[in-house]
Amino acid sequence: MRALVQRVRYARVRVEGLLVGEIGRGLLIFLGVHQNDGPEEVGWLARKCAGLRIFPDAEGRMNRSLLEIGGEALVVSQFTLYGELRKGFRPSFTDAAPPDRARALYERFVEELQALLARPVPTGIFGAMMEVECLNEGPVTIWLEKAPRPPAP
């Protein structure tokens, strides 16, 4: 499971011109699900996102988490995080989970993050063509990945 996490002053996502999710200060999380991901990867990544210490403390050091600042999170599904480009110029997405499995794990990630933050977590619409807008603060962008367990033989 992969997440591209951006510290933002605000973020919003639109589908067909309609605003479907919006946050103030917090994290914009683009989430990709691998074909072998399961609940272990979901829980690990949700805890990492909630506890990621990338917000400034009183001395300006990145030392505070989303939990500590009372910030918000916006989660957007993005299977293209598993784009493979070892050959050629057109990405292959064979490592990405099939849509039904990815949707279930994406929704579980959102639920776990909501429980950790004790607040609603807005999202985009899974599988939709989305327009994402944000003001990246810093800029601070972090790549988080929990490698999936290999499939059982």
Provide the annotated active-site residues: 78-80
Q: What is the DSSP string of 21-41?
A: EEESSEEEEEEE-BTT--HHH
Q: Are strands 62-64 and 55-56 parallel, antiparallel or unpaired?
A: antiparallel
Considering Cα of 95, then 129, then 127, then 51, what sign does the dihedral take?
positive
74 and 28 in contact (C-beta within 8 Å)?
yes
